[in-house]
Amino acid sequence: EVKLEESGGGLVQPGGSMKLSCAASGFTFSDAWMDWVRQSPEKGLEWVAEIRSKANNHATYYAESVKGRFTISRDDSKSSVYLQMNSLRAEDTGIYYCTNAMDYWGQGTSVTVSS
Amino acid sequence: DVVMTQTPLSLPVSLGDQASISCRSSQSLVHSNGNTYLHWYLQKPGQSPKLLIYKVSNRFSGVPDRFSGSGSGTDFTLKISRVEAEDLGVYFCSQSTHVWTFGGGTKLEIK
């Protein structure tokens, strides 16, 4: 059974930083392309970032709205993917989901950026 | 970015009816490799989205055959024959031919 479990969300002030983690199981993590997607009432579902497998040189891609502020990374030895979020803005508020190339999704972790 | 437009926003149905949801993209979803990366998801209340259909018409693992997808180019349709109570929720179309984008969702609810 595929499982994706996000953690690390919470309340942060504008301009602050936060790191999200996602622990995966039930599939060959090292071969998987992993994504972060967020959801808010204002913007709906929005793709955030992708990191590809070692075979694809762990290439990373970002939505324009987060480029230069967010960093996606992975640790294949821990079957985990991360999202480092810096210079957070109110519009980054939402539920952040970890997905394996959009096939399976975790339950999400809530991020609120507010003073 | 490619804009995905779903209609209707809300779809009241009676159990056992057929339901149809439309999704239109602002540009062609045919990839240079010949594939069309149009997918459908269902999000039930309090849950994350679940993949139903990938690449226009392929049912994902465990998805009942009452779900079917069709379409080409920029116009796509999801059909649910004989709607059951467990089918209620918000349906999203999504494309990954270009930078990944999602439709705004169609809420399937009981009439």
**Alpha carbon distance A106, A26 (integer Å):** 13
Q: Nearest-5° angle of CA A82, CA A86, CA A88?
A: 115
User: B54 to chain A, minimum CA–CA distance in Å?
Assistant: 9
Report pLDDT digits (tens) over B45-98.
999 999 999 999 999 999 999 999 999 999 999 999 999 999 999 999 999 999
Report the chain B residue with the minimal C-alpha distance to residue A50: B100
Q: How many Cβ pairs closer than 8 A exist between chain A and B?
A: 34
DSSP annotation of B36: B
* A107: contact with B, CB 8 A cutoff: yes
Between chains, do A102 and B99 touch, taking CB under 8 Å as contact? no
Q: What is the pLDDT of residues A31-66, one digit of tens each?
A: 999 999 999 999 999 999 999 999 999 999 999 999
Q: Which residues of B touch A104 (CB under 8 A)?
A: 51
The H or E element that residue A25 is part of is strand A18-25
